[in-house]
Amino acid sequence: MQKRISSFIIVLWLTSATILAQTGRPAGQQVLGTNYAASLDTKREQGALQALLKITEKEIIAAVDAMPADKFGFAPTDGEFKGVRTFGQMVKHLSATNYILAAAALGERPPADAGDEVGPDSIRTKAEILNYLNGSFARLAKAIAAIDQTNVPVNASPISPLKKGEVTRSALVVESLMHAYDHYGQIVEYLRMNGAVPPASRP
């Protein structure tokens, strides 16, 4: 687990580094044209985010799939857990947030059925929720692929702290992945409360 967290931090650092202007070059390095250099930076940024997305998607989908179907309605009660989401509601919330932020990154209106980060009421079973989750990661992949599309607008989102003039596709994707990992920690706790070992912790 520590190795995975370290990889997450390294990829995030590499992604963030592309945002910074390079003020110096090693002696003898060829100075590339501005457009070519910008293209290289965009490709590196896309590659780093794609790698981070794959890690996140693999970890979360495997963890969600590890929960028995009859436990998707589970919510903790032993302690101060009044009003918390059930396991299924939490995964739908994670997915809906992915859809909403991906839509903003693509300059689109958020899906009407995403609700206020709740997700469609019609999606209830384990199979339906997993399908909704998979689709949300596919939308994030599309947002990453659009990073170099300067002719397509990027929208601010009311669920994001990033405002108009500050928001970028990369930032919205990173925000979504950070949010997903926040809930991954909760998913792991829900699994263990039900006697299930998270796939990432298995030998």
Residues 26-52: tens digit of each pLDDT:
444 444 355 555 566 888 999 999 999
- Listed as own residue / partner, the contacts of 171-175 with beta carbons closer than 8 Å and 24 or more positions apart are 172/101, 172/102, 172/104, 172/105, 172/143, 173/49, 173/53, 173/101, 173/102, 173/105, 173/140, 173/143, 173/144, 174/12, 174/15, 174/49, 174/52, 175/101
Joined tokens for residue 15: 């992604």
Average pLDDT, the chain: 85
Q: Tokens 């920690």 label which residue? A: 185
Residue 155 within a domain: yes
Neighbour count for residue 165 (Cβ, 10 Å): 6
Residue 177 within a domain: yes
Q: What angle do CA 105, 111, 116 make, to 5 degrees?
A: 95
Give the residue from 175, 173, 174, 201 showing the smallest Cα distance to 187: 201
User: In the prediction, which pLDDT does 80 show?
Assistant: 83
Residue 25 within a domain: no
CATH code of the domain covering residue 165:
1.20.120.450
Q: How do residues 72-97 score in pLDDT, each as one tens digit?
A: 999 998 888 888 999 999 999 999 99
* Number of domain units in the chain: 1
C-alpha 191/C-alpha 201 separation (Å) is 11
User: In the prediction, which pLDDT does 9 show?
Assistant: 43
Q: How do residues 108-140 score in pLDDT, each as one tens digit?
A: 999 999 988 999 999 999 999 999 999 999 999
Q: The whole model's pTM is what?
A: 0.80
User: In the prediction, which pLDDT does 3 show?
Assistant: 46
Asked if residues 201 and 64 have their Cβ atoms less than 8 Å apart, the reply is: no
More confident residue, 178 or 7: 178
Residue 26 within a domain: no
Joined tokens for residue 69: 């179907």
Residue 24 within a domain: no
Domain that holds residue 42: 2-19+32-201
